[in-house]
Amino acid sequence: MMSTTTNKPDDKKLTPRSEDFSAWYNELVLRAQLADYSPVRGCIVFRPEGFAIWENIVAELDRRIKRTGARNAYFPLFIPQSFIRKEASHVEGFSPELAVVTHGGGKELEEPLIVRPTSETIINHMFAQWIKSYRDLPLMVNQWCNVVRWEMRTRMFLRTTEFLWQEGHTAHATREEAEAETLAMLEVYRAFCEEFLAIPLIVGRKSAAERFAGAVETYAIESLMRDGRALQCGTSHFLGQNFARAFEIRYLDENNQLQYVWQTSWGVSTRLLGALIMVHGDDQGLRLPPTVAPVQVVIVPIWRKPAERDDVLGSARAALAALTQAGVRCKLDDREGITPGFKFNEWEMRGVPLRIEIGPRDVAASEATLARRDAPGPTSKLKGALSRLPETVSALLDAMQAGLYREAKGAMDAATVEAPDFESLCRQMAGEGGGGLANVYWCGSAACETKIREQTKATCRAIPLAQTVAPRPCVVCGQTANERAFFAKAY
Ligand SMILES: [Zn+2]
C-alpha cells in the first residue's frame, strides 16, 4: 500500500467530518503523523507523534494498575497450540483469528506455536506451577505487550492484526474476591478514560453474545464516537473457574483442602488512540486533552525585521524555560523559513492544546498571545503577562481538560435516545447521525438481541450495573424486561 504522508506543507484541508467521517479519520492519522500503513497487510507503523501519546497512556495507566496491587511480568510471544485447545470456548472464540508458526530454524516444528492473541493460556499454565497454597493468593500480574489477531477488515488503531495492549491476570481464593477485582479494574479503566483522556463512557455488563471467549461475565467501558457509532474502550472479565479447571490451578486452603482458584483478566489497547481521535478531533485535526498530550504548549516566535529577531527569540526562550521549569511539556518552534500561519496549522493538526505567539509588540508590552486549540480563531485569543505565564498556562490547560470532557459528554448525551418500541429503534439506527446510543428495555433473550442486530446492525454495548427501573415490555418481543441496555452500531 502506498503511503500518502508527506513532510511538505499541507495545502489541502482534511475532508470535513460531516462529509465522510471515515476519510476524515484516515487523513488525520496520516497528516498528524500518528501512524502509517505498513508493508504487512493489516499492520500499522506507530510514528513518534502517535507513539508518544501511547507512552503517556502507558505511564499513567501503569501507575494506576500498580496501585491496585498488580505487578508487571512478561510471558512469551509463542504459545504451544495444545494450550489454546484446553479451554473449549476459548479455542472456539479465537480459532479463526490465530496466526500459527509451523516452522522454526528451517525445520517443521513438532508442535505448532500460536502467536498470542491473548495470554490466558500460557499465564495460567505458569499460575498452576506457582500457586500451591492460600498464602500464594491473590496472585495479580499485568503484562504490556503486543498480540496478534488475524483480522480481515482492518482500520488504523481500531482493528489491526498486531496491536499493543496491557493484559492483567489475577487468581483469587474466593468467587467474591475475583468478582470484586473484576469490578475494581472496570472502575480503574472508567476513571482513567474519563479523567485522563476526557472520554465520557457508558459502563456495564456485556450480553452473552458479546462476552469474551472463556469468561463467565464480561464488563466493558464503551464510548460514543462523533459519527454516532460506539467503540469498546476496555474490558474486564470474570473468568470463574473455567481456566482454573482447564489448567489445574489449585491451592490448599486453610483446612488443607484442594480448591480451584477464581480468576479475572482485563485489558485496554492502542484502540484508545482511535477513541481519542474520534471523540475529540475536529476538521482542523487532532485535539488532545492536555494530560495525554506529548506537547502541551508550543511557542511560536513571530518577527518580520531582523532587528526584532533577538528580542522576540529571547522572550520566547525565557517563556520556554519558565514553562518547562513549571513542569509544562513545552516546545519552541523556532524553525526559520516557514510562515507562522503554516506552523499554526501544523500544530493544530497535531492537536497541541495551547499555542503561545510572541511578536515584537508582545515583547514591548511584556506579554504573550495565547491561542486555545479547543477555541480556534483570532477572536478567542488571549493576552497573558510573560511574568505570569506558568500560572496562566496551567489554569488554561485545566480548563481545556474539563472543557473537552464536557463537550464530548454533551455530544454523547445528545446522541443518546430512549427507544420505546422496535419501530423507533429501527428508525433511530437508520437515521442520520449514525444511530447513536439507544437505551432500550430488553428481555435479555438471544433471539431478541439477534433480531435487533439483523434489522438495525446495532449490538448490545452495555447493560448498566445499577438499575432501578420498573419492569416494562421488551422492545422486541413484548415480554417482561427487568433491565435496560444500550444498543448501538459499533466499531
Ligand atoms: Zn425480548
Res 7 pLDDT > 60: no
CA–centroid distance, residue 445 to ligand 1 (Å): 6
In this prediction, residue 465 carries a pLDDT of: 93
Q: How far is the CA of 446 from the centre of ligand 1 (A)?
A: 8
Q: Check residue 153 and give its pLDDT.
A: 86
User: From ligand 1's centre to the CA of 475, what distance in Å?
Assistant: 7
Q: Are 216 and 239 in contact (CB under 8 A)?
A: yes
Distance 481 CA to ligand 1 centre (A): 7
* Cα 464 to ligand 1 centre (Å): 17
Q: Which has more confidence, 404 or 432?
A: 404
Q: How confident is the model at residue 6 (pLDDT cuts 50, 70, 90)?
A: very low
Ordered strands of the 354-358 beta sheet: 330-332, 297-301, 354-358, 367-372, 382-385
- 345-355 pLDDT, tens digit per residue, is 999 999 999 99
pTM of the full structure: 0.94
Question: Would you say 369 and 359 are in contact if contact means Cβ atoms under 8 Å apart?
Answer: yes
- The predicted pLDDT at position 1 comes to 37
What pLDDT, in 10s, does the model give residues 306-326?
A: 999 999 999 999 999 999 999
What are the pLDDT digits (tens) for 134-151? 999 999 999 999 999 998
The percentage of residues in the chain with a pLDDT greater than 70, rounded to a whole number, is 98
Q: What is the mean pLDDT of residues 41-51?
A: 96
| Confidence band of 11 (pLDDT split at 50, 70, 90) | low
Averaged over 99-121, what is the pLDDT? Answer: 96
Mean per-residue pLDDT over the chain, rounded: 94
Lowest pLDDT segment from 2-16, 60-74, 277-291: 2-16
CA atoms within 13 A on the CB side of 319: 35
Contact by Cβ (8 Å): 114, 78: yes
How much distance in Å is there from the Cα of 452 to the middle of ligand 1?
10
User: Average pLDDT of 110-120?
Assistant: 95
- Predicted local confidence at residue 5, as pLDDT: 42
Residues whose CB falls within 8 Å of the CB of residue 106, separated by 6 or more in sequence, listed in order: none
All three cell numbers of 37: 500503513
Q: What pLDDT sits at residue 86?
A: 85
- CA dihedral 467→471→473→474, nearest 10 degrees, is 30
Amino acid in position 123? I
Q: Distance from the CA of 92 to the center of ligand 1, in angstroms?
A: 27
pLDDT of residue 2 exceeding 50 = no
C-alpha cell at 26: 484516515
CB 400 within 8 A of CB 354: yes
383 by Cβ neighbours in 10 Å (0-12 / 13-18 / 19+) ranks as exposed
pLDDT on residue 12: 77
Cα-to-centroid distance, 474 and ligand 1 (Å) = 5
pLDDT tens by residue, 255-301 = 999 999 999 999 999 999 999 999 999 999 999 999 999 999 999 99
Lowest mean pLDDT among 80-89, 302-311, 479-488: 80-89
**What's the confidence (pLDDT) of residue 10?**
52
**With 90 as the cut, is the pLDDT of residue 92 above it?**
no
What nine digits make up the cell of 466? Answer: 445499577
Distance CA 491, CA 489 (A): 7
